[in-house]
Amino acid sequence: MATTTSHATNTWIKTKLSMPSSKEFGVASNSISLLKNQHNRQSLNINSSLQAPPILHFPKQSSNYQTPKNNTISHPKQENNNSSSSSTSKWNLVQKAAAMALDAVESALTKHELEHPLPKTADPRVQISGNFAPVPENPVCQSLPVTGKIPKCVQGVYVRNGANPLFEPTAGHHFFDGDGMVHAVQFKNGSASYACRFTETERLVQEKALGRPVFPKAIGELHGHSGIARLMLFYARGLFGLVDHSKGTGVANAGLVYFNNRLLAMSEDDLPYHVKVTPTGDLKTEGRFDFDGQLKSTMIAHPKLDPVSGELFALSYDVIQKPYLKYFRFSKNGEKSNDVEIPVEDPTMMHDFAITENFVVIPDQQVVFKMSEMIRGGSPVVYDKNKVSRFGILDKYAKDGSDLKWVEVPDCFCFHLWNAWEEPETDEIVVIGSCMTPPDSIFNECDEGLKSVLSEIRLNLKTGKSTRKSIIENPDEQVNLEAGMVNRNKLGRKTEYAYLAIAEPWPKVSGFAKVNLFTGEIEKFIYGDNKYGGEPLFLPRDPNSKEEDDGYILAFVHDEKEWKSELQIVNAMSLKLEATVKLPSRVPYGFHGTF
């Protein structure tokens, strides 16, 4: 029997969420027609949305959101009103007057925005529907039911990050905009516990104190003239001391890395946050982490931990001012190197990069930031068709960027790079990544079907030329592969296997694929009927094992028919299900994890 030490705090998703039921959707073979909505918008037609499945599923609230069994529900609306009163009571008359005026302007702006259909990339009814919807925090639940047997080597804590908005969106919202929430399963001697907690970012803390969202949402709101207006409102609140943006505005919802005895939660718009796992398996935010004052800029969500040296390598990008891109590293003891400026002409979307034994591989691709597009009424995230994608190769211990070598890779956009290694006999760097088309489909509305092709990119350091090919050559076996990893003990070295999410039907994940990177052979593990998951995590059984695939795959899986979630543990060599841990509450689809 599972036992709960205390009861989950409920959120707006239980008491306030208002979404159209499935009856309010006219469903055709390739389109969805939204017939009515609470804001009296025009009808919204979604044609084969890249950001939503062909049929949106809005389960009933009773099955969608779990309620503590004794029905003791703490309503944040009341809590937030109290905390809001406490916060605003400290304001002087000028601040109170400014707050009222700015709130009135924001209300008028929101009303104006909702008079027009939102693009599906910013419509919360699309972005956070079904199991993409948020959940309340869940304190530790011990002794979870287990089917099968948890392998002996699975000892420790599996943690996964995700976007989980605390407050109901009032206007535009992209899935990536949600507040960070970490889900943790702790394994001890064949038993498992579960907890999930918000990462208490400075943004979240201030919004909780005010009782509502006030920080602008980077993707869902910051586009066009209304985006400029929201930025002006935000900084006006800062000038009057109503909010403090000097301590960061990030959501820490994307990546996780365990480095130098600290678990760090990250998104590329801020510094990392230190999250502590307690002995009981609960989670506690220790605070914004600047490596003892050494890190003074943002850090991307995918730093690379070298399995041999124990060093951490990272990038930082700026969308406003030069230098637009910087590279740095940390020793295994947490000592930061000097920043190395990477010369790029425009601010570039830099979600991921790669390392080899001796080099860092830095993509400079066609998705760029152009803030001037907001003045023209568009999105600042732009697909620049005139730009030629390229990869930069730099010595890992370079003190400056003078020896950086660029190799062009035309028409290539990899949101994620899974690994890279050196092949000295041919003077090549081999990069493994998923090439995505259209490149900006995640951020901007697009009718073209998304493809994510696992690819081998070879960068010849002698000739300066590149080649690119699909690793899975049989077109009948080609599937969208996104989110995953290689054996972390082989990162930066030649690897035979990659374990990647089968992102079909997009944006859901129906299973994972084990791909032989040398032969292109693909083996698939499907989670089950009406079951979908996310990123597969490969956990080595023994770091000294001679077999690269000797280990287990861990993945959160949600049953959309029964509306229950579980953690599946799969033998990576045989692809046989070893154990299933039944979870006490729903786990939304999310982003990246670690163990």
Which residue ranges make up the annotated binding site for Fe cation? Answer: 302, 351, 416, 592
**What gap in Å lies between CA 320 and CA 245, rounded to an integer?**
16
**What gap in Å lies between CA 131 and CA 60, rounded to an integer?**
12
Query: Tokens in use for 231?
Result: 């930025």
**What gap in Å lies between CA 524 and CA 564, rounded to an integer?**
23
Token pair 């503590």 is found at 68
C-alpha closest to that of 183 among 157, 159, 150: 159
Q: Which residues are annotated binding-site positions? A: 302, 351, 416, 592
SS3 at position 417: strand
Report strand pairing: 304-305 vs 283-288: unpaired
Query: Tokens in use for 462?
Result: 């002698």
**What gap in Å lies between CA 562 and CA 146, rounded to an integer?**
17
Other CB atoms within a 10 A radius of the CB of residue 36 amount to: 10
Backbone angles phi, psi at 237, to 5 degrees: -60, -35
**What gap in Å lies between CA 359 and CA 362, rounded to an integer?**
10
CA 222 from centre of chain: 18
CB 283 within 8 A of CB 195: yes
**Diameter over CA atoms, the chain:** 73
Beta-strand runs (E) in 60-171: 138-142, 146-148, 156-163
Distant-in-sequence, close-in-space partners of 315: CB < 8 Å, separation ≥ 6: 299, 300, 303, 325, 326, 327, 328, 342, 350, 353, 362
Beta-strand runs (E) in 189-311: 191-198, 255-259, 262-266, 273-277, 283-288, 304-305
CA triple 289-137-178, angle to 5 deg = 60
Residue 166's identity, in one-letter code, is L
